[in-house]
Amino acid sequence: MGKILIILTICIACMGSICSANPIHDLQDEIPTDKALHFAAGYIISDQLQRNVGCSTFEAFLITSGIAWAKEKYIDDNVDNNDAYATMTGSLFYQIKF
């Protein structure tokens, strides 16, 4: 029991020192929520197109890109190309096999 407490104490101390000065947290804070949601939408759309519709990788990317550009042009009041790029990046990121 004593060894478990020592290990837990060391782990908590290491996690506290890593989390407080981690440059990844700074990077995450710089990404706007809107871009992260567009990225997630592109990822999910590509996933559903390939799993359920049977689209190829290229077809899923083209459809996702078309949806992103149409949404920016016809639905939003002002066109933000970076939103469409974030959606397309999410679509490409889905192709990475982990």
Question: What is the pLDDT, as a whole number, of residue 31?
Answer: 75
> Does pLDDT of 5 surpass 90?
no
Residue 28: left if φ>0, alpha if ψ -120 to 50, beta else—which one? Answer: alpha
Sign of CA dihedral 14, 19, 20, 23: positive
Q: How far apart, in Å, are the Cα atoms of 27 and each of 22, 31, 47, 88?
A: 9, 7, 26, 20
Question: What is the pLDDT, as a whole number, of residue 88?
Answer: 95
**Domain extents for the chain?**
21-94
| Average pLDDT value over all residues in the chain | 82
The per-residue pLDDT for range 59-76, each reduced to its tens digit, is: 999 999 999 999 999 988
Provide the pLDDT confidence category of residue 42 given band limits of 50, 70 and 90. Answer: very high
The 10 Å Cβ neighbour count of residue 31 is: 11
Question: Is the whole model's pTM more than 0.85, yes or no?
Answer: no
Question: What is the pLDDT, as a whole number, of residue 12?
Answer: 61
Higher pLDDT, 16 or 29: 29
